[in-house]
């Protein structure tokens, strides 16, 4: 008989791991909300950026690109190509240079651009923006479609998704876990996968497992209509990390790149962050009187080294961590879930540059 696995959390993390592991385990996903993807996953900027965050995230992204570019049957249309411009004012020249020097070996397609070249690609930039780097290998992702396809494929393999199931208690009885919902339903499992996003430490505490000490950080997005043709522009990302904007059809998605520490919650946009998004957009471009049509916020979740945590807990053999996906959980989902499924069945990691220790919770407790 196959071992039973309960995955707590029906975001992109829980769903993609469930699909990858469905051939080896009998899997049930438990999700608090009425639909999967309600929290961080449904609030992302939906971008894949290869020179991003750190070396581990970069390599996990490389492991994922092919899935998005040549998706398996049933996943067509999950990604479109897109360029990203990292841009800076004259005073930011060292930062642009640093970005280019950091990534040019690993991303040979990055090209530095002059002011005229920046303006040719994004004509609304003000004259303050004098230098930049273009990355033509980024992708725009259709997260809703990705989630729907993943859930469908998982179900076709016999997997179960229980929504409206908020786990409120976890007991360990003779080597098996019993998870109870707020309405009193129970599910038993041999293994728990903790894919609860901002709530991973809460789930650990329920199970009597030492929490990792993750930090959730709120990030805001707004959508506006620029009233000028924008769909051919690249995404523009300030090298000072305080604004990005990205064309989406006739709209622009804009974020002030806020990273305000937050408790796990249903994050809501604050007026100050919306105002900052608008002010910075108007300082960066020739757009004025920008009116947001939609505003939202979501949580990005980190451990101190800003890489994911994937692996069995050091002290609780039936408790598997699958969290801390920061601002890269969608773009790394194919790679993380492939490696995660191997680690879940205690198989060695092969045909990858990543090691189990780079992903394991163990690395967070090692002093050297």
Q: Which residues bind ligand FAD (CB under 6 A)?
A: 8-14, 30-33, 37-41, 43-47, 165-167, 195-197, 199, 203, 219, 221, 255, 298-300, 323, 325-331
Residue closer to ligand FAD, measured from CB, 130 or 312 = 312
For every residue of 132-173, DSSP letters joined together read EEEEEEEEEE-HHHHHHHHHHHHHHTT-EEE-S--EEEEEEE
Q: Least distance to ligand FAD from the beta carbon of 279, Å?
A: 18
Q: Which two tokens stand for residue 294?
A: 């939609």
Q: Least distance to ligand FAD from the beta carbon of 297, Å?
A: 7
Residue closer to ligand FAD, measured from CB, 133 or 301 = 301
Residue closer to ligand FAD, measured from CB, 130 or 330 = 330
Which residue in this structure is represented by tokens 């919770």? 361
**Contacts of 363 by beta carbon, 8 Å cutoff, 6+ apart:** 305, 357
Q: Least distance to ligand FAD from the beta carbon of 265, Å?
A: 11
Q: Least distance to ligand FAD from the beta carbon of 129, Å?
A: 22
Residue closer to ligand FAD, measured from CB, 110 or 333 = 333
Q: Least distance to ligand FAD from the beta carbon of 258, Å?
A: 9
Residue closer to ligand FAD, measured from CB, 89 or 243 = 243
Q: Least distance to ligand FAD from the beta carbon of 23, Å?
A: 21
- Asked if 334 and 67 count as a contact pair (C-beta separation under 8 A), the reply is yes
Residue closer to ligand FAD, measured from CB, 122 or 147 = 147
**Contacts of 32 by beta carbon, 8 Å cutoff, 6+ apart:** 164, 165, 166, 167
Q: Least distance to ligand FAD from the beta carbon of 195, Å?
A: 6
- Asked if 354 and 56 count as a contact pair (C-beta separation under 8 A), the reply is yes
Residue closer to ligand FAD, measured from CB, 136 or 227 = 136
Beta strands in the chain (DSSP E): 4-8, 26-30, 47-48, 79-89, 111-113, 129-141, 160-162, 167-173, 176-181, 186-189, 191-194, 215-224, 235-238, 244-248, 251-255, 260-262, 292-302, 309-312, 319-323
Q: How many helices (H) and strands (E) in the chain?
A: 9, 19
Distance CA 263, CA 217 (A): 8
């Amino acid at each position: 008989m196959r071992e039973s696995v309960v995955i707590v959390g029906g975001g992109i993390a829980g769903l993609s791991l469930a699909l990858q592991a469905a051939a080896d385990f009998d899997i049930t996903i438990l999700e608090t909300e009425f639909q999967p993807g309600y929290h961080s996953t449904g609030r992302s900027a939906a971008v894949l950026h290869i020179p991003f965050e750190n070396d581990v995230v970069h390599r996990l992204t490389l492991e994922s690109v092919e899935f998005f570019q040549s998706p398996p049957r049933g996943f067509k249309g999950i990604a479109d190509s897109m360029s990203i411009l990292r841009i800076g004012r004259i005073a930011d020249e060292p930062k642009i240079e640093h970005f280019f020097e950091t990534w040019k070996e690993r991303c040979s397609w990055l090209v530095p651009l002059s002011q005229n070249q920046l303006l040719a690609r994004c004509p609304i930039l003000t004259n303050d923006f004098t230098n930049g780097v273009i990355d033509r290998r980024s992708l725009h992702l259709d997260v809703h479609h990705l989630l729907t396809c993943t859930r469908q494929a998982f179900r076709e393999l016999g997997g179960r998704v229980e929504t409206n199931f908020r786990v409120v208690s976890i007991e360990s009885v003779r080597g098996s876990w019993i998870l109870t919902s707020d309405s009193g339903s129970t599910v038993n499992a041999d293994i728990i996968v903790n894919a609860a996003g901002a709530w991973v430490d809460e789930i650990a505490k329920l199970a009597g497992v030492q929490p990792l000490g993750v930090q959730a950080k709120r990030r805001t997005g707004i959508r506006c209509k620029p009233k000028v043709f924008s769909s051919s522009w690249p995404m523009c990302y300030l090298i000072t990390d305080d604004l990005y904007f990205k064309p989406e059809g006739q709209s622009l998605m804009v974020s002030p790149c806020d990273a305000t520490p937050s408790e796990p919650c249903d994050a809501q946009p604050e007026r100050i962050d919306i105002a900052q998004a608008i002010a910075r957009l108007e300082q960066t471009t020739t757009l004025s009187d920008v009116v947001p049509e939609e505003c939202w916020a979501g949580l990005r979740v980190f451990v101190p080294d800003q890489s994911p945590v994937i692996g069995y807990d050091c002290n609780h053999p039936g408790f598997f961590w699958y969290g801390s996906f920061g601002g890269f959980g969608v773009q790394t989902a194919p790679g993380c879930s492939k490696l995660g499924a191997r680690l879940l069945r205690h198989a060695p990691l092969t045909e990858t540059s990543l090691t189990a220790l780079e992903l394991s919770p163990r690395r967070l407790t090692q002093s050297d």
